[in-house]
Amino acid sequence: MLKQWRARVAGTPAAPAGSSETALIALIAGGDRDAFQALYRIYFGRLARFLDRMVRNGALIEEIVNDTMLVVWQKAHTFDHSCKVSTWVFAIAYRQGLKAVNMRDEPVESNFELEAGDVRQEPEHAMAQQQLQQGVGEALKALSLEQRVVVTLTYYHDMGYQEIAETMGCPVNTVKTRMFHARQRLRVLLSAHQEELL
């Protein structure tokens, strides 16, 4: 059912100006498919980028996003306004991603295409940018799953530690500790990457 809705998302008008995600959730709780499509459109790209860094398997990403949004559809009536809608949706995606990672027994690799950069860059700058992105990507892969999630939510989704703690279902101090260790590890890995390029 969700795959059919996703196929129609491209033709669905965006949410009306002024409608909030909270209002969309309330409409979804009442069975409004148009509101669901609007929320799906808002979150598909954000969740895909988050899950790409989390599960590192392009084939799984759309499946996990669909599973996440199915839960949103089924559980919208349980949203209690104790956090932002984005925190609630990302928490569902995080749990669905963990479930998918734990069910797989083979190593996973990412082939999900992210947005391309500015194609009008100078060749030298474009190559340096590509090498930097590749280095950061490789360094992120070397982190533990929990550290990678904290870094991704902080730097790619602009979440604060409290919101990340709510998303991951852990204390704020645990998030801070994971970020501390992730930064230490990234510093070492990115220094090594820069030395390789020299």
Counted residue by residue, the chain has a size of 198
Q: How far apart are CA 188 and CA 161, in angstroms?
A: 23
Range of the domain at 136: 121-198
pLDDT-flagged residues of the chain (< 70): 1-19, 104-129, 131-132, 193-198
Domain membership flag for residue 116 = no
Predicted local distance difference test score (pLDDT) of residue 10: 44
CATH number, domain with residue 105: 1.10.1740.10
Instruction: Give the pLDDT score at 127.
Output: 64
Name residue 107's amino acid.
Answer: P
What pTM was estimated for this model as a whole?
Answer: 0.65
pLDDT of residue 54: 83
- Do residues 178 and 147 touch, judged by C-beta distance below 8 A? yes
Give the number of domains in the chain: 2
Cα–Cα distance measured from residue 140 to residue 185, given in angstroms and rounded to the nearest whole number: 9
